Structures are given as structure tokens and as C-alpha cells.
Structure 1
């Protein structure tokens, strides 16, 4: 809040308490100018200034629940052909969580089983042969995500070992390139050309 002084035509001085209210947040200055022009051309309905807190929100929620209960009773008591209600728009009310509610859902983290080198090479061989990771993972007591992570890490390590060997000449264009797992003999230009 800001306190400012403003001179009056009669010589008196007004002390104003300025409480900024954010009307909207926009992405750029041009849109903000457009909105300001629109606001200047229309009369705004300024909300009442007051202390808003949990008590006010709880009262609003209680009022809304009472209206919903009254509507439910009215619907139960009226014949089906007489039901015609006009719903008035509701304010964005906060969610009130009742005490003793259930605990939030938790995902249990399972540490993947340690696989031997033979098991890993067997799994990798099946992946290279075109089998789906989701079908392979249960055979090794892993989830699909765990096996996918192990496979991605293995490919990353293999790529770094291939790259350590340095650059070599492409068999098609003779340009120097760093070989990859998928294209060890040809450069990227020749692969996509």
C-alpha cells in the first residue's frame, strides 16, 4: 500500500491510501495498452475493499453447500416434469478439505534387481532384435521404465566409447566425422541425403 498527498482546489490536502489491485496479467505491452484503453472506455465495478481471509472463504463455502442442499431437497420433493432451475453463477470457491481425509497417494520406489552381465547382454540382444522393452522387462523382474533406463544408459556409454576412437573418413564422401552406434561408417549428410 502507498500513501500519497493530493492538493485540492480549495487549498486543502487529501491523504490517499492507494491499494493496488491486479486486474489482469498479460503477455506483452501492446496487449496491456489495449486492455487499458478498453478499461478507460468502460466503467469498472470495483470490488469492496475488505479483509479476506480463511473465515470469509469458509463462510462462502458453507453458504454454497447450504444452497446445494436446499436445491437437492427441492429436486427430491418436486415431480420430474416440474424441475426447472436457473443456476446462478458461483464464485471460485476454495476447496475445504475435511479433517481425517485419506492420505495422499504415494508411489513406492522399487530398486531394480542387480542383473549379471550375461542377463544384461541377453536383454540387450533381444532389444536389438526388435522385441519390445515392455515384453522383455518382466522376464528380468524389471519394470519397463527401469529396463528402458538401463538400455539408454548402455547406449550412451557405447556411444561415448565409439566417440573416444576419434573421427574417421566417411565411406561415401570421405569427410571426417565422429561415428555413431546407428551409422558407424557414414556421416550424417550421407545418411540423410
Structure 2
């Protein structure tokens, strides 16, 4: 039964500590074959007035936002076509790549690319997986199915997709998208 004890400076709220406890549990389970209920995590708050580094009192750094929550919010915002709010979630230098495209840098490029392909598309999510990537970027994968309407008015549904995002400093820096839309369309045309 693995036991993890963590000392942090006081100041993190219960939701941030919950995220930390879940992340530590998952980190242990990545190596140790233990069920979640067998991993014990104890977080000890250290009063800031009792902590010194380099002879100076220190304050805790603010917690990073939940990267999976940020990705979910971005995708919902895009689906609602609130481009101003979505744009505010993007870091300078953000790029996105969709099937058959090179990197796009603006939401307007994405809209122009999608305009001759379908009237609209929505997503049903099967899951979000977040992890710390190399360097400072968190990596978030979301997966599920697409549904929507082609330009001719015919509906589509159940098309698999996976999106991979990179998040740094609470902003999206990269999005890569894979889906089976072209395969489904090609098969539908072959059956017609």
C-alpha cells in the first residue's frame, strides 16, 4: 500500500488540493500496480510564516488552472461560436492542425477551412486525459465522436475523433486533431 506525504505552503484551496491528490494517486499507479483506494496521499499545509528559503520567507505560487477543464471550456466555447472568448484562451503563437491541413494560427483560418466541408459539427466526449508533458506544457487528449450536418443537408454521427492540446501558463499553445470524417465520407460515397 503506497503512502505519499506532501508538504506544501498553506494557501491552496480544497479543489486545488483535490486535483493534487488525484494527480499523485495517478502518478503512483503509473508505476505501482495498486488500485486507487490502496494509494494514500497526505497533504500537509506548512504555515507560510514557518517556511524560509535562502533566508527569506516565501509565499506559495498560485496553482495552475486545470488543463482538461480549460480544453473542455475552449471546445464548448468554439461550439457556441463565441470566438472572442475562445481567442482569449489562446497563447501567442498558438497553432492548430486538422486532417489535411498545415498549421493554422487563427480561428478565422479554421472557420474558412471548415466552411466548404460541413454546416456544423458538435462533439460527444468519451473522455479527457491530462498529463504533464516535457517542459512546462501540460498535454490534454480528448476523444469521442463527431456529429453534425454536411453542406447538402445530410446528417452524420458517430465519427471518431481525438484532439491533442498543449497548455502552458493557462493558455492553449497547440491543437492537433485526428478524425475519421474523410473515411466515413468516402465509404458513404462508395455505397451510394
Range into which the TM-score falls when normalised by the shorter chain: under 0.3
Q: Between Structure 1 and Structure 2, which shows a larger proportion of strand residues?
A: 2
Normalising by structure 2, what TM-score? 0.21
Higher Cα Rg, which structure: 1
Q: Does 1 or 2 have the higher relative contact order (CA < 8 Å, sep 6+)?
A: 2
